[in-house]
C-alpha cells in the first residue's frame, strides 16, 4: 500500500506522488510571531513533522525539502511595537525565539528553509509587477490590490462562491480598491511604519503575496504539497492560488493541499477574553512534551480536537504503558536452543502499523497497533517474538517523534522504585508552589498531594491542576476518593 493523503484541492484521498522522483517539495505556512504561540500552532506543525519523518523513512525513501515561512512583518507586530515603544523586529525575535524553543521541546525538527518575509521583498515586488503587467493587479491610493474578478477559479479550494462572498461585503473607509473582494498585495507605508522601496511607493508586503513569492523562489511551481491549518484555507490559501496560478502556464501551484483540523481548549475556542488561552511555552512547563505529542497523534490530523487536562493525563498514562511494555520486552534473551518462530506475529503488526500511516496518516490507528503488540506479546513467551516486538516499538515510536521516551528510566513509572531525580524535576516544574528540598520521592509526592488538597479547599483549582499535572508528567496518577487521595504508577 502506498501513502495516501486527503487533498483539499480535490476533496478526495489520493496517492501521494511527486513530480521529481524521490524528492518531495513541501511548503507549510509558518508562524506570525506578533504574539505568544499556542497549542493550536503546535498541533499543526507537529503533524507535518510526522509526515516529513514518514516520507523520509526507508519505506518511502523520499528526500524532503521542507519550507516553513515566518511572517515577520504585519499589522499586529507593528502595533505591538508601537505600544511597547520598540521595533517590530524585536517583537518578532522575542516571540519567535520562544516558539522555536517550544518546538524543540516537542521534538519538531527544524525546517530545511525558514524564509522571513522581509528577506524576500525583491521577489515579492517582482511578483506583484508581473501581476500588474498581466492585468491581475492594480495600484491605488493606499497600495496595490489583486483583482479577484480577473481570476475565474477563485473559491475553488475553499468551495466558496464569489457571488455569495460579495453579499454583505464592504470596502472600509481607509481602503481604496475597486471591488470588496480585492485584497492587498502591497500596503503603502503610514508615518513611522517600517517600509521598503517599490515602483509604486514605499511600503510592505501584504500577507498572502509573501507565501506565493517565497514558495516560488525556494521550491519552484508546481511543487508537491502545500500545508497549513484548516483556518488558512480561506482566505490565505485561496489568495495564494489566485496570485500564483495567474502567472503559471500550467497550474496548479501545488499538486496536493493538506490541512490540519481546528483545536479547542477545554471545549472552547482559545481566547484571552475567555480566560482559556495559555502560551505554549507555559503549557510545556506544566506538562510532559511527549504526552502532548502523543495526545495529538491519538486523533486524526484532519479532525477537530478538544484539548483537555484529563485527556493529557490519559496520554501520560499511555506513555508510561509504552515505556514499561518496551522495557519488559527487552528483558528476555532468546535461549540458545530456541528456534525462530515459523510465523512471526510481529510481521503482521508491522504491516498493520504502516498500513495505518499509509491511510491518510492515521496516526491514531498506528498507535492502536502498538498497544495491540504489547497485549499480544505479554502472553507470548518466545524471546525472539518479544525481541522483534521491542524492535518494532523502537522503530515506530521513533518515526512518530516519540523516541526520546526510551531515554527515560522505566523506574519512574514503578511505585516503590521511583527515580530519585524525580524530586529535582518536580521542584523545577513547581518552583515555589511547594518546597521539596531534601525529600525522598515518596515524601515529595505526599507533599504535593497535601498541597493540592489545600489548594482545592481554598478553591484555587488552577494550582490544584498544576500540582496534579506535574505528577502526571512524571508517570504518577492521583486517585481521589471519599477517604482521601492515593497515587499509583501510570497504567497500573
Grid cell, residue 38, equals: 499556542
Q: What is the DSSP track for 145-181?
A: EE-GGG-TTTTTTTT--HHHHHTT----TT---SSTT
Please tell me the distance from the alpha carbon of residue 477 to that of residue 491, in angstroms, as a whole number.
8
Which residue has cell 527487552? 330
List, for residues 11-60, the tens digit of each pLDDT value.
999 999 999 999 999 999 999 999 888 898 999 999 999 999 999 999 99
Whether the Cβ atoms of residue 392 and residue 373 lie closer than 8 Å to each other:
yes
For the residues 386-393, what does the mean pLDDT come to? 93
Cα(412)–Cα(492) distance, rounded to whole angstroms? 13
Check: CB of residue 380 under 8 Å from CB of residue 386: yes
Residue 482: per-residue pLDDT: 64
User: Helical H runs in 431-460?
Assistant: 441-457
71 burial level (CB within 10 Å; 0-12, 13-18, 19+): buried
Residue 330 has pLDDT above 90, yes or no: no
pLDDT of residue 417: 45
Question: pLDDT-based confidence at 384, cuts 50/70/90?
Answer: confident
287-300 pLDDT, tens digit each: 889 999 999 999 99
For residues 17 and 250, what is the distance between their CA atoms, to the nearest angstrom? 17
Q: How far apart are CA 258 and CA 265, in angstroms?
A: 23
Position 277 pLDDT exceeds 80: no
Task: Write the pLDDT tens digit of every residue in 405-431.
Answer: 888 765 444 443 456 678 888 888 888
- Its pTM stands at 0.83
Lowest mean pLDDT among 168-172, 192-196, 349-353: 168-172
HSE at residue 1, side-chain half, CA atoms within 13 A, is 16
The answer to whether the CB of 351 falls within 8 A of the CB of 59 is no
Task: Supply the pLDDT for residue 419.
Answer: 66
Share of the chain above pLDDT 70, in %: 92
Which range is most confident: 12-26, 325-339, 342-356? 12-26
DSSP 8-class letter at 116: B
Residue 485 pLDDT > 60, yes or no? yes
Strand 484-489, strand 476-481: pairing: antiparallel
Whole-number pLDDT of residue 104: 94
Mean pLDDT of 197-213: 97
Query: pLDDT tens digit string along 91-133?
Result: 999 999 999 999 999 999 999 999 999 999 999 999 999 999 9
Per the model's pLDDT, the better-predicted residue between 345 and 9 turns out to be 9
pLDDT of res. 483: 61
Handedness of CA 129, 132, 138, 140 (dihedral sign): positive
What pLDDT shows up at residue 382? Answer: 86
Tell me the range of 225-229, 428-432, 470-474 where mean pLDDT is highest: 225-229
Does 315 score more than 80 pLDDT? yes
How far, CA to CA in Å, does 421 sit from each of 406, 414, 487, 492? Answer: 16, 14, 18, 21
Tell me which residue of 426, 336, 329, 340 sits closest to 387, measured CA to CA.
Answer: 329
Q: Phi, psi (5° rounding) for residue 255?
A: -65, -40
pLDDT above 90 coverage of the chain, percent: 63
* Averaged pLDDT of the chain: 89
Q: Which domains does the chain have, with CATH numbers?
A: 8-265 (3.40.50.620), 311-406 (1.20.120.640), 413-489 (no CATH)
Mean pLDDT (whole number) for 189-195: 93
225 close to 8: Cβ distance less than 8 angstroms? no
Rounded to 5°, the CA angle 393-396-398 comes to: 100
Q: What is the pLDDT of residue 479?
A: 76
pLDDT of residue 338: 60
> Do residues 266 and 238 lie in contact, with contact meaning Cβ atoms separated by under 8 Å?
no
* 196 CB burial (10 A radius; 0-12, 13-18, 19+): middle
Residue 481 backbone phi and psi in degrees, to 5: -140, 175
Greater pLDDT, 283 or 152: 152
Rounded to whole angstroms, how far apart are CA atoms 81 and 87? 5
**pLDDT of 297-306, one tens digit each?**
999 999 999 9
Amino acid at each position: 500500500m502506498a501513502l495516501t493523503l486527503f487533498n483539499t484541492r480535490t476533496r478526495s484521498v489520493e496517492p501521494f506522488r511527486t513530480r521529481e522522483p524521490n524528492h518531495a517539495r513541501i511548503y507549510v505556512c509558518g508562524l506570525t510571531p506578533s504574539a505568544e504561540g499556542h497549542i493550536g500552532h503546535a498541533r499543526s506543525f507537529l503533524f507535518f513533522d510526522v509526515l516529513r519523518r514518514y516520507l523520509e523513512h526507508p519505506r518511502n525513501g523520499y528526500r524532503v525539502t521542507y519550507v516553513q515561512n515566518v511572517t515577520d512583518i504585519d499589522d499586529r507586530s507593528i502595533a505591538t511595537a508601537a505600544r511597547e515603544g520598540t521595533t517590530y523586529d524585536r517583537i518578532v525575535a522575542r516571540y519567535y525565539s520562544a516558539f522555536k524553543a517550544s518546538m524543540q521541546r516537542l521534538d519538531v525538527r527544524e525546517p530545511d528553509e525558514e524564509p522571513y518575509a522581509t528577506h524576500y521583498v525583491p521577489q515579492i515586488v517582482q511578483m506583484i509587477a508581473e501581476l500588474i503587467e498581466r492585468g491581475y493587479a492594480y495600484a491605488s491610493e493606499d497600495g496595490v490590490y489583486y483583482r479577484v474578478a480577473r481570476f475565474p477559479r477563485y473559491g475553488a479550494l475553499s468551495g466558496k462562491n464569489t457571488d455569495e462572498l460579495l453579499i454583505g461585503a464592504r470596502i472600509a473607509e481607509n481602503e481604496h480598491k475597486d471591488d470588496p473582494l480585492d485584497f492587498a498585495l502591497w500596503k503603502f507605508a503610514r508615518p513611522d511604519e517600517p517600509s521598503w522601496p517599490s515602483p509604486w511607493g514605499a511600503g510592505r508586503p501584504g500577507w498572502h503575496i509573501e507565501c506565493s513569492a517565497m514558495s516560488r523562489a525556494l521550491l519552484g511551481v508546481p511543487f508537491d504539497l502545500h500545508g497549513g491549518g484548516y483556518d488558512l484555507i480561506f482566505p490565505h490559501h485561496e489568495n495564494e492560488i489566485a496570485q500564483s496560478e495567474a502567472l503559471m502556464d500550467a497550474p496548479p501551484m501545488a499538486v496536493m493541499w493538506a490541512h490540519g483540523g481546528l483545536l479547542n481548549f477545554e471545549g472552547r475556542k482559545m481566547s484571552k477574553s475567555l480566560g482559556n488561552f495559555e502560551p505554549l511555552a507555559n503549557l510545556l512547563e506544566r506538562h510532559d512534551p511527549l504526552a502532548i505529542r502523543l495526545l495529538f497523534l491519538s486523533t486524526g490530523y484532519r479532525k477537530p480536537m478538544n484539548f483537555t487536562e484529563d485527556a493529557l493525563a490519559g496520554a501520560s498514562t499511555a506513555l508510561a504503558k509504552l515505556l514499561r511494555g518496551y522495557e519488559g520486552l527487552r528483558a528476555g534473551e532468546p535461549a540458545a536452543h530456541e528456534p525462530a518462530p515459523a510465523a512471526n506475529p510481529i510481521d503482521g503488526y508491522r504491516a498493520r502499523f504502516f498500513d495505518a500511516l499509509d491511510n491518510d496518516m492515521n496516526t491514531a490507528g498506528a498507535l492502536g497497533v502498538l498497544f495491540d503488540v504489547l497485549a499480544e506479546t505479554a502472553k507470548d513467551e518466545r524471546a525472539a517474538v518479544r525481541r522483534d516486538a521491542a524492535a518494532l516499538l523502537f522503530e515506530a515510536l521513533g518515526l512518530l517523534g516519540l523516541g526520546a521516551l526510551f531515554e527515560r528510566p522505566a523506574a519512574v513509572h514503578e511505585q516503590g522504585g521511583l527515580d530519585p531525580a524525580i524530586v529535582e524535576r518536580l521542584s523545577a516544574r513547581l518552583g515555589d508552589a511547594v518546597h521539596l528540598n531534601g525529600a525522598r520521592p515518596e515524601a515529595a509526592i505526599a507533599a504535593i498531594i497535601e498541597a493540592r488538597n489545600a489548594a482545592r479547599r481554598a478553591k484555587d483549582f488552577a494550582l490544584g491542576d498544576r500540582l496534579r499535572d506535574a505528577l502526571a508528567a512524571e508517570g504518577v496518577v492521583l486517585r481521589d476518593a471519599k477517604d482521601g487521595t492515593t497515587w499509583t504508577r501510570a497504567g497500573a
